[in-house]
Amino acid sequence: MFKLNSQDIRKKTIALSCNSGAGHLAPSLSCVEILTTLFRDFLNYNQADSKDESRDRLIFSKGHGAYAYYVILNELGFLPKDELDNFYNGASIKGCLTQNLDYMIEASTGSLGHGLPISVGIAQALKMQNKKQKVVCIVGDGEMQEGSNFEALNLAYRFKLDNLLLIVDANNLQAMDKVSDVGLDNDRLSKVLSVYTDNFSRINGHDEVELKKEMGKFFNEKNNSLSIMLCDTLKGKGVDVCENSIAHHFRCPTQDGYVLGCDDE
pLDDT one-digit tens code per residue, 239-262: 776 665 665 555 666 554 544 445
Q: What is the pLDDT of residue 175?
A: 58
Contact (CB, 8 A) for 56 and 126: no
Residue 265 has pLDDT above 50, yes or no: no
Q: What is the pLDDT of residue 5?
A: 96
Sorted by where each begins, the domain ranges of the chain are 6-262
Q: What is the pLDDT of residue 184?
A: 86
Neighbours of 156 (CB within 10 A): 27
Q: What is the pLDDT of residue 155?
A: 98
Averaged pLDDT for residues 58-64: 94
pTM: 0.91
The CATH homologous superfamily for domain 6-262 is Thiamin diphosphate (ThDP)-binding fold, Pyr/PP domains (3.40.50.970)
Q: What is the 3-state secondary structure of 81-143?
A: HHHHHCCCCCCCCCCCCCCEHHHCECCCCCCCCCHHHHHHHHHHHHHHCCCCCCEEEEEECHH
